[in-house]
Structure 1
Amino acid sequence: MLGPYRLIGRLSSGGMGRIYLARSGARSDGRGSGELVAVKTLLAEGEVSDIDRRRFAREVSLAQRVDSAHTARVREADPGAERPWMAIEYIAAPPLSELVRACGVLPASAVRWVAAGTAKALVALHGAGIVHRDVKPQNVLLPLDGPRLIDFGISHANDLTRTSLTLGTIAFTSPEQARGEPSTAASDMYSLGATLFMLASGRPPYSRDGDTLRLLARVQRGELDLGGLPKELVETVRPCLAADPGQRPAPAELLARFRRDQAGLPATDSGVRWLPPKWSALIGEYAAQGQALASGRPFDPAAGSDDQPTGMVPPPGPTRMYTADREAQLRERERAARERERAAKEHERAERERAEKRAAREQAEREQAERAAQERAARERAQRERAERERAQQAARARAGGAQARAASPTPGATRPTPAPAASSGGSSGWGWLIAVAAVIALLFWQPWDTSGSGSASGGSRSGATGSGAVTSGNDLGTHTDGSDTGSDSTSNSNSTYGSGSGAEESSPTPTPTPTPTPDTTDRAFAAVRAGDCLDVYNDGHDNMSARAPVRVGCRASNAYMHVNRVSTTTGAGSSCDSGPGFTWWRKSGADGVERTLCLDRVYQVGQCFPAQVKGATNADLTVVWGCGASTVPRAGQSILRITGYYRAPAAGTNWTCPAGRGERFWYWPVNNGRSIICASAA
């Protein structure tokens, strides 16, 4: 039991509602049973929530506002009961959808009759301030005395906020509903026109390929396919399907037209006159079954007996979501979508920071390795220089020892002096030896061969030419010099020549080390770039790079704008870089005297923007990156284009264009020396 009604079977179930066939209590005179009703209740098991109870109460309130012979009337309701319920008039008649499926299409005169009867129901609804919003063949029942419009539980009064959701079957929905715009009485007329078209042709007024999303897009654009509509019905159906809601007729106008067309003919509302025999027979089967049920015969929808019609009467559909609750649900979904977007951005930011930290760490490791290599090379050079000086000093000492020996011993082959007379030989011989010993002692103290002292020293080149320069005694500074200077120094030290004039031997002086300039941060950044790297740098539109130094990023990063295809340290290497759309080069003369050139090509990513001249001759510098929403452009006459695609160049002779929507203008450029194509449209 639900209230005073005894349930005798379930008619349907779906959405949030369940429909039962029920009978009221016995008649007071004791003859037979009470009338049949369709009782709707909620699907919820256990305690009914406040939200569901409010939705159900709203549906009851809307249904009770309409009291028309052309709709299903509400008999009784109790939304505050433990299990809320609503008893609706039970109409023993098939829906239009079932009749078309089982019996075929209607002639034009019958379509006009159905249109007039349904228009009467809409006049009653709109007069009560209610927009149905779900007129379709399934919601129009057809007993022989005329159509009945059911299931306006999802309707909304004009004085309440209307939902922007598209409800109902897509093929019978108005374009404004499909676009999520508010529904009006004109929306019901569009749906009625689509229903009448189906009665006359057996299909909805759109091309169908089984794709729901494509059908929705056609409905939104109002792309009708009215093939098969009889000429007699064009004036009735076509105005209802106008794309502009203001051009559609009101229900009263449609009803008045039908009455004008029937002027002078016998007036009757019976479908026996209008409907084909097959339609009348199926309607009669439904009516007979209703009478049998009303007389107390058992209800068994699955029995399949001979007198069982094709299907049970669809009562008003399930309760739909209350507008405020639907909007709350939409807000919750939007909030969840924003949270997901924020989480995605946070993840992207974290990934970018990790990539930047990783790049900085790699840069620091490379710089540390370079400094260690430089220090190691400086130590090796200092060790070589010390070794060269020690060898030079050893050679000088050896030469000095040889000169002393020659000075102390007589020259071989020399004529011996004639002995002096005995009287004078003693004195003469003694003085000679004393002079020789004094000369040796003087040489030992003077040491003209020793060049390790401070002061001015002569340095010889490979040819023995002399020069002057300040030399630090015992130099062990380990100062960095070029490899060419190192080689020259070691050669000079090992091949030093004797001086002339005094007969003493001179050694080559130790050269002054040339200090190496310390590279700055920009030089180190250029030196760290390798072929294959990608950079967060681009042409700023004014023939300048967007940064003073290259910033390396991952080639898949969203801020990877340039790809390094070649690195050169040869002066003037920029002329050997690739040229053409998207290619450029970046040169830096370092403090270390090295000129480094980076050959670059643009990394094309969908969604990036660039300025271009599109009026007249189309041209653009594809190395320029520009903000898609910028209010200015680098030069007058330019427009901002957005990259919509990056494709491999088609084979020669292939008829290929950029993918674009109907009527959408696009531009394209061959890039990568003709191997690829980018497509762009106005940003």
Structure 2
Amino acid sequence: MTGIGMKPLGGDDPQRLGVYRLLGRLGAGGMGRIYLARSTVDGSLVAVKTLLAEGLVSETDRRRFAREVTLARRIDSAFTARVRDADPGAEQPWMAIEYIPAPALSELVRSEGRLPGSAVRWIAAGTAQALVILHEAGIVHRDVKPQNILLPLAGPRLIDFGISHANDITRTSLTLGTIAFTSPEQARAEPSTTASDVYSLGATLFHLAVGRPPYPETADTIRLLTLVQRGALDLTGLPKELTPLIRPCLAADPAQRPEPADVLRQFLEELDRSPTSRRGERWLPPRWTALIEAYEAQGRALREGGGGDEALTVDARTRQVPPPAPTRVSTEERAARREQAARAARKEEEQRAARQKQEERDRAERERAARAARERKEAEDRRRAAARARAAAEAEKKQRREREERERRQRAEQARRAQRARASGQAGAASPGRGGAASSPRPPSGAKAGAPTAAPRASASSPSSAAKTADSSSGCFWVVIAVIAFAVFIWKPWDGSDTAGSTGSGTSTGGASSSTSSGTYSSGGLGSATTTGTSTGGGTGSGPTRDTSASGTSTSGSSTGGSSTSGATTSAPTTAVSRTPSPADRAFASVRAGDCLDAYQNGYGSWSRTAPERVGCGAADAYLRVLRVTPSGGGCTSGSGRGSWWHTGVDHTFTNLCVERQFRTGQCFLAKAGGGRPGPANLLTMWSCGAGRVPSEFSYIMQVTALLPSSAGTNACPADPGHYRYSWNVYDGRTMICAKVA
């Protein structure tokens, strides 16, 4: 739908579509061609868009074309190209659109250069007006770009909405030309909204003001698509006066972008403050208006040509013979004009120098802001690390206090049990009878040890004998009480000298019996203390065995003799020394299979981090994916981008992470030399692509250019003039990494 640039019809072009006679080819879109045609009814000029197809038109393409016709007919505005006629059901579907003899913004920037800020705001207002009308009709354009905005002097006209973009996203060759003006959500194949049109408007305005798209320059289409998906902008060169207009439109979050009505309102408010014309002659530089006027003159010539259509089959870039040159001016006037031109050149140079200085100041300010942000982040990281260290120390101190308190209670319990056992033993030794029976007299010297001693006979009818027996029993009872009191006073259980935490050995011998006691302390909870007691006498017998240790240590006692008994002895408790896990231990313990980590090998035989840090697998710094976690120290597959990350905890336990490198286009890794070219590579490494040095073990920095199926072969890797193509197979041979020497 442009004016200048019409080409003759080709052999495969139709001569007539409906009531329109085709005059020449204006251009080609994603799925059709656009012709200049004249109506055989009223002689008016139109731009006819037709659907391209090899053979019969498929039903799918016909439905898409009909949908575009329906959408275009819903709009009747001076800010778009109106639909004049259409026949989507014809053998070759077509649509006649209003012919606008004007250049596209892309051609104006390419041939006449960038625009000043006032002209950019004027174009922004006109395009925003067109978007307001489309959005109110429930239409999302989805392909706003410089090629789809025509610029007559009356104001911008938005064209080609609907089906062309729907087809572009299925054809790579057509998508490449519009990626730089696509919103991040569209590049990620997410639903398009009115905010998507606002982002594309911001990218178009940036192109008008700076002369390039708002992304780092790159010839790698895949890298450009990645930059667009992430919203990684490069706004270097954007004039400061246009930043409030363009920067909000390029917000990564669609909810933070302005509405088209806000952009239009901002321009109208400025226009109200300084009333002036709304036509392009007031806002555009002379070099732009000259080209636009040439287009409009060509359009008038075509309309006034009437039936002379044979002249339209040649390239419409030819023009009429120019009029004769004006009369030569005087020498003084020429000198004045040269002086005026010199002043204009000096002023333009001064403005360019001022812009460069302003750009340098802006760049320095951005660097200072970035440095301050890094310093704040580092200070915050240090503060958090110190807080974590304090919390770990407090936790360790609390655990130590709890452990000491638990051990103290165990020792006290052991002491109480030992006291009760000893008290029971002493009472048994002092009281040989039960039920208050009197102590038996010592056996005669000639009696056999252990034999019962006969009591003296007494007559039941003798009262004096019974009285004597009662007096004797009462006296023995008080003797027993005195003996027990004396034994307790000598033993002194209250001074706590025999505690469960003491260690050592002791031996006591009395009469025909002896006992031995020993204790052992084991650190780390790997050993236990055992106490045994043994006594020997004239006869044989055995005493009871019981467990009196809180830590599971058993005590036993045995006795040999006719009537001697030894009490159970209590062991010293075993103290288990626990170790508090370090932050690295906790970090490794939290990793699970399927997690992604921000770590890589640094080329010097170690990892970029001392402990793993988990990140989202879709993040740009997700360099590793965990395939398996083997706490017992099992092996992992190595090579082809896989390896192991070992860790030994403070408690001597082992953790092994089986990891796999996550590759992305544009990343770099290290490779050794092999026969004067890159050879074996460490695919787990990560290196700066612009670095001037590498570790001594390596010779090359390799940059990933593409990730393809292994069956594609190295020849499928993207070609890069001046670079050889190399490849490595990873992921069990299913994927091929294409790389070049960085």
What TM-score results when the alignment is normalised by the length of structure 1? 0.46
Q: Kindly name which structure, 1 or 2, has the bigger radius of gyration based on alpha carbons.
A: 1
Larger relative contact order (CA 8 Å, sep ≥ 6): 1
